[in-house]
Amino acid sequence: MDKYIESVYNSLVEKDPDQKVFHQAAYEVLTTLEPAIKKFSKYQENKILERMVEPERIVQFRIPWKDRDGKIQVNRGYRVQYNSAIGPYKGGFRFHPTVNLAVMKFLGFEQTFKNSLTGLPMGGGKGGSDFEPKGKTDDEVEAFCTSFIMEIYKYIGQFVDIPAGDIGVGAREIGYMYGAYRKITNLHGTCVLTGKSPVYGGSLARTEATGFGVVYFCEEMLKAAKKGSLKGKTVAVSGSGNVAQFAAQKAIQLGAKVVTLSDSDGFIYDPAGIDQKKLDFILELKNVKRGRIREYADKFKCNFTPKAAPWSVKTDVALPCATQNELNDKDAKKLIDNGVACVTEGANMPCTLEAIKVFQDAKVLFSPGKASNAGGVATSGLEMVQNSQRYFWTFDEVDAKLHGIMVNIHKTAYETAKLFGQPGNYVLGANIAGFLKVADAMIAQGYTA
Ligand code: NDP
């Protein structure tokens, strides 16, 4: 590792030794920036890396709320406002018991590069809470969301910070939070949150955007490598939430055979393929009934493997769409033994550093989430545009713009990798391309930026 980069990395580890998942995200980015840092001395001279790894601001707060028995519960909330050099902070809220400051920092750091790659003027941020929405009543979720907004509303706004959804935060949670924000501030239509329902200002196709975008990106990877298209290919998807559902849907629409989905209890394997009718069952199961993936296996008489991820099946393409570090080096080797040709990340950092190395060494096409899952935040950007214009676009108009953005992100990552001497290395291409724009904006705005 380059001495300057090594010193920046060592320093962030020393400052926060327990933030392992943040170290991992920083390591992945910093080590791939080496060719750019060597080529342009201005980044080291302006201490850009030291500034970039440190968030501009972190807000941490308590969230007291009342449960169904009238008892007060207390959770912890965060907003990490990472970098606003190219636009207001933008990034989702995650509600999950594993949320802590390290997770928020890793996600906010990643988001900065991802948002830069979209080409839209959005800085990076992330927030959330260790609140677990699973098993809660709607009233409990509403009570929590209202209390959460009562504190965080002071720090967000259309020109400051525009949060959205993530794990555990979907249409229901965004609705309660938007309602609470509107009551507190008496403001409407200012786009303080994206991922809203289209009935009160959301964008059509935002729900589908991350998953669709992952598949558009995957198609571009296959095309660039002259490996055909998704038509006729077998696809293994993990997760069964927002990203997984619509990645599966788009893959099915493009003629692929999707054979797996999962949740934290295990995965289903349907060798006949999940068609649109079966997927409709999943959408109802997960988004309305809030049930478990094993119910799919009961209904369609296929295999359910408890407490495992779907990386042991025979597949051409893998789309990890659940959570961070869900695919390790052993899983990567199993996928390669089973013939995988392309791995397109849908979740944020689902593959460990060791797994990425295994894929790259074996010349398996591999793209990092910050490039391939950027369609969600890009469409959030389009939601902001529509809100500013007091106007809306049709589903097809938004979908066409999303497709164009994903093609462009692919081209940027692909060409940047080639330009910096590592053709086909999407990790390096995406990191350098995302970095250059933010770094140049920081330099242009002076040393306090
Ligand atoms: P959802 O909450 O809708 O779905 C998450 C899915 O992942 C669920 O099936 C969940 O299962 C599963 N999951 C969560 N934690 C674990 C775990 N520890 N082990 C196994 N499975 C797990 O979230 P999203 O689909 O929105 O997000 C999925 C990923 O995509 C995240 O990494 C997120 O950051 C990323 N992402 C999301 C975007 C969006 O627009 N929503 C945009 C860009 C990235 P269970 O229900 O059992 O917990």
Mean pLDDT across 103-108:
98
The per-residue pLDDT for range 353-404, each reduced to its tens digit, is: 999 999 999 999 999 999 999 999 999 999 999 999 999 999 999 999 999 9
The reported pTM is: 0.97
CB within 8 Å of 177: residues ≥ 6 apart: 93, 145, 146, 148, 149, 193
Phi-psi region of 228 (alpha: psi -120 to 50; beta: other; left: phi over 0): left
Q: How far is the CA of 346 from the centre of ligand 1 (A)?
A: 9
Contact 166, 90 (CB under 8 A): no
Question: What separation in angstroms does the CA of 288 have from each of 134, 284, 305, 364, 366?
Answer: 12, 5, 24, 37, 34
Mean pLDDT across 395-417:
98
Mean pLDDT across 238-264:
98
Q: Hey, CA dihedral for 9, 104, 345, 158, is it positive or negative?
A: negative
Please state, in angstroms and rounded to a whole number, the distance separating the CA atoms of residues 218 and 316.
Answer: 12
CA 121 to chain centre: 18
324 CA: nearest ligand 1 atom:
32
Q: What is the pLDDT of residue 370?
A: 97
Please state, in angstroms and rounded to a whole number, the distance separating the CA atoms of residues 271 and 259.
Answer: 5
Mean pLDDT across 138-146:
98
Q: What residue's CA is closest to ligand 1, atom 40?
A: 376
Helices (H), 153-186: 171-185
CA nearest to 94, candidates 72, 116, 115, 79: 79
Contact 240, 286 (CB under 8 A): yes
Strand partners, 234: 257
| pLDDT greater than 90 at residue 189 | no
Residue corresponding to tokens 């959205």: 164
Q: Where are the domains of the chain?
A: 3-191, 207-367
In the residue annotation, 126 being an active-site residue is answered as yes
Q: How far is the CA of 364 from the centre of ligand 1 (A)?
A: 24
Percent of the chain whose pLDDT exceeds 70? 100
309 CA: nearest ligand 1 atom:
20
Q: What is the pLDDT of residue 161?
A: 98
Mean pLDDT across 426-433:
98
The per-residue pLDDT for range 145-167, each reduced to its tens digit, is: 999 999 999 999 999 999 999 99
Mutate which of 100, 104, 113, 166 for ligand 1? The one with the most ligand atoms within 8 Å of its CB, which is 166
Mean pLDDT across 83-105:
98
Q: What residue's CA is closest to ligand 1, atom 34?
A: 348
Please state, in angstroms and rounded to a whole number, the distance separating the CA atoms of residues 79 and 413.
Answer: 29
Q: What is the pLDDT of residue 190?
A: 84
Fold assignment, 207-367 = Rossmann fold (3.40.50)
Q: Phi and psi at residue 103, in whole multiples of 5°? A: -65, -45
Q: What residue's CA is closest to ligand 1, atom 2?
A: 167
CATH 3.40.50.1110 correct for 3-191: no
265 CA: nearest ligand 1 atom:
47
Pocket of ligand 1 (CB under 6 A): 165-168, 170, 210, 239-244, 263-265, 321-323, 326, 346-348, 373, 376
